Amino acid sequence: MIRLYHNPRCSKSREALALLQEAGAEVEVIEYLKHPPSAAELDRILTLLQLEPRDLLRTKEEEYETLCLDDITLERESLIETMVDNPMLIERPIAVSEDKAVLGRPPEKVLALLQH
């Protein structure tokens, strides 16, 4: 089972979902703008991605500037909470399996979760 944090309005996200479905993967689609991950879930996803919160922030969103997220003194926990409270700031799509995660940029990267 692959959990896909998905935004149906995003072409890259739709592409990633189509690739997984075409490959026969069982996919749980989570529209993260409606159902954002908890702070604990997002922390786990970041750990699996081997990324820091800043690496997953959408810096071109208006909220990025409004919330002064370019402040380098902001700590990991604070950034994660901000992302949970403002899920549009989370880069997409993110595909998560039991013990791996990938950022679907480009969308073909999600297929790596199907390899053993």
The pLDDT profile of the chain, 116 residues, written as one tens digit per residue, is: 999 999 999 999 999 999 999 999 999 999 999 999 999 999 999 999 999 999 999 999 999 999 999 999 999 999 999 999 999 999 999 999 999 999 999 999 999 999 86
Q: Is 103 helix (H, G, I), strand (E, B) or coil?
A: strand
User: Domain segments of the chain: what residues?
Assistant: 2-114
Backbone φ and ψ for 110, nearest 5 degrees, come out as -65, -25
Structure tokens at 76: 């990991």
CATH topology of domain 2-114: Glutaredoxin (3.40.30)
Q: Which pLDDT score, from 0 to 100, does residue 69 have?
A: 98
Active site residue 10: yes
Q: Which pLDDT score, from 0 to 100, does residue 116 have?
A: 62
* Alpha-carbon separation of residue 10 from 5, 14, 63, 93 (angstroms): 11, 6, 18, 9
Q: Which pLDDT score, from 0 to 100, does residue 1 have?
A: 94
The reply to whether the predicted model has a pTM over 0.75 is yes
Question: Which one from 6, 9, 10, 77 is the annotated catalytic residue?
Answer: 10
